[in-house]
Structure formats: C-alpha cells, structure tokens
Amino acid sequence: MRLHVADHPLITHKLTVLRDKSTPSPVFRQLTEELVTLLAYEATRNVQVESVEIETPVTATTGVRISEPRPLVVPILRAGLGMLEGMVKLLPTAEVGFLGMLRNEETLEPATYAERLPDDLSDRQCFVLDPMLATGGSLGAAVEFLFARGAQDVTAICLLGAPEGVASMKRKVGDRDVTLVLGALDERLTDKGYIFPGLGDAGDRLYGTV
C-alpha cells in the first residue's frame, strides 16, 4: 500500500479551519470540497491515459486523454458525499457509484446499508472518498468490496487519518494495488474511536445534525 500524506501550507490552513469547532456547516462543506480538489491532484497522479492525435491551430501533435473504462468515484455515505463535488470537478468524466456505511459507535464495526455500484469493476480504477480514516473498519470494508467486484486498483482520499487506521489498512490490503492519500495524519484514536485531535463527527459537521 502506498501512503501519501499531504505537506502543503494551503491544505494545512484549510484543515485548521475545518478542525475548529466554531466553523459552521456551510463553511465546513465549502472547505471540504476545496480540500478534496487539492488532494485529488495527488490522488490522480496514476490515472490511466492513452495517446490521442489532435491538431492545434499551429500543428498536428500528440496528447493524452483519460482511458476507457472511465474511473469510478465512490463516496462512502454519508460523510463521503461532502467530498464528491470537489472530486468530480477534477475528474468530470468519471462515473460515480455509492456505498452507504455506518459505524456502530459501541463496537466500532461498520455495517453496509446501501450499495449502488456496477457489478463488474474489471479494469476499473476506483477512487474512494471518505473524510475520516479512524479504525479503518469502514474504508477496509469498502476496499474489499471493490476488489471483490474486480477493481484493478483503488485510491482512497481521506481528509484525516489515524495511525491505527493506516496500520489496519496495511494489514487488510496486503500486496493489492492500493494508494491512500491523507490531508493529515493525526496523533491517535481516543478510547471512543475518534480521531485525536481530529475534527469531531464529519457527517454531523457537514450536515448539521450534531
């Protein structure tokens, strides 16, 4: 598994505002979208392209375009939905599939409650969106799900990750082609499974249901 932790002052600045508990939902949503677009630049570094011949007003030349089958973007509901617009701004031709997952706050085990994805993901590059990588239960299950459908490779974009979640992902994915792009790697998990210092419950902060 490849791990990339962002190291850019603009990303750290936006994350700091996101972490601040006084930041209201509309600002939180706007910043989430902006952060995803910045992280997507790194996350799409290995997106598959093919050669294409074009003519500029001056000459014929060779360029590239995104290959078929098109990449699949998969936000994990509910909080991952807040990252979708920022991602498709950068990859407008991508297809979008949905996975709904809810972590049981007692056991910290994820349960899948919704799924709308193509049956066959052979040769597909998949981009999973979930703002929080805490224990790694939800992201690990999502990645398993995509590989079971035949995905070629999976890149996950998370705004914040905990070391426990990264270690869990490493164990689960083994030598499969997985890239994890984080806005920041925080200190640890709390005894309730929250990322510390973190930003609280991402879904509640996005959608205002605290």
- HSE-up (13 A, CA, CB side) for residue 180: 30
Residues 64-83: x where in contact with ligand PRP by CB under 6 A, - otherwise, as a string: ------------x-xx----
**102 lies in the binding site for ligand PRP (CB under 6 A):** yes
Question: Which residue in 31, 35, 134, 178 binds ligand URA (CB under 6 A)?
Answer: 134
**132 lies in the binding site for ligand URA (CB under 6 A):** yes
Q: Which helix (H) or strand (E) holds 4?
A: strand 2-5
The interface partner of residue 102, options being ligand PRP, ligand URA, none and the CB cut-off 5 to 8 Å by kind, is ligand PRP
Nearest to 186 by CA among 164, 208, 156: 164
**32 lies in the binding site for ligand PRP (CB under 6 A):** no
In the region spanning residues 11 to 50, those forming contacts with ligand URA, defined by CB under 6 A, are none
Transcribe 23-56 into DSSP letters.
Answer: --HHHHHHHHHHHHHHHHHHHTTT--EEEEEEE-
Q: Which is nearer to ligand URA, 132 or 166 (CB)?
A: 132
Cα 127 off chain centre by: 6
In the region spanning residues 123 to 142, those forming contacts with ligand PRP, defined by CB under 6 A, are 130-139
